[in-house]
Structure 1
Amino acid sequence: MASPNRVAYSPGEFAELFGKSQTWGYRQIYAGKVNAITEHGRILIPAKEVERILEKAGIYNGIDKPKQAKARVEKLSTEQKNIWHRFIQSRRIGAGEQDKAKGTKISTMPGAGAAKKSRSSVLGQIARSWGKKST
């Protein structure tokens, strides 16, 4: 546990307490997972934050948590899910190959004609689709 004498830790010292690199400490701050004091020309992490993290920690029981991506896909509309599944299928099979399950080219997207789409344009379509409000 945190030393009772310390009031705050530098990001490197904070990371060292958890057996991690200094970069990890900064990433925790920038991700908003750790509250830091940034005034007075230095970044410091209060000892209370170390205690809060340790109190919040649970016991690992070996059961994997569900992937965040899976939960995000479940929230998509039907059209968005179809685009996502075609993209995943194209990654598994390879760009431009036939989708044997459906008998159609995966690289052909609805409304795009028969032109072959590059991987970046498929990702762009997915990003635009996710930008729309899902129903």
Structure 2
Amino acid sequence: MAGEGLMNVSYIFPNGDRYEGECGLSASGAMVRCGAGKHTSANGIIYMGEWHEDRMCGRGTLKLPSGAQYEGEFKDNMYHGTGTYTFPDGSAYNGQFRENRLEGEGAFTNTQGRVWMGDFNGEAALGLKMQHI
């Protein structure tokens, strides 16, 4: 960031979205979200967490109107790194993400509480093992 530091702002976008948090100046002189902040979209999506150059980047929580929620690491507005995605039915995946995809070691807990562990690769998860309780 080229600015002299961060400032706290409260901003309403023309589409009805709201942002409350830290902002700074980009290299081009534009005001951008950076640091910690909360963005609430007009359609009910809420992101609370870290921003870098106007993108979700770092740790944060994204809550969707469906009841789904992601908590973990973001990069360039995508789930990227370690995190937990909880589905609307209460089932959850905890593990590695790469560009919004389940990618790498992880554990899926179904609605009955059974845990399946293994290597996830997008939509495929061959060879998962059920954890015995």
Flag the structure with higher helix content: 1
Identify whether the pair has TM-score above 0.5, normalized to the shorter chain.
no
- Relative to the length of structure 1, the TM-score reads 0.20
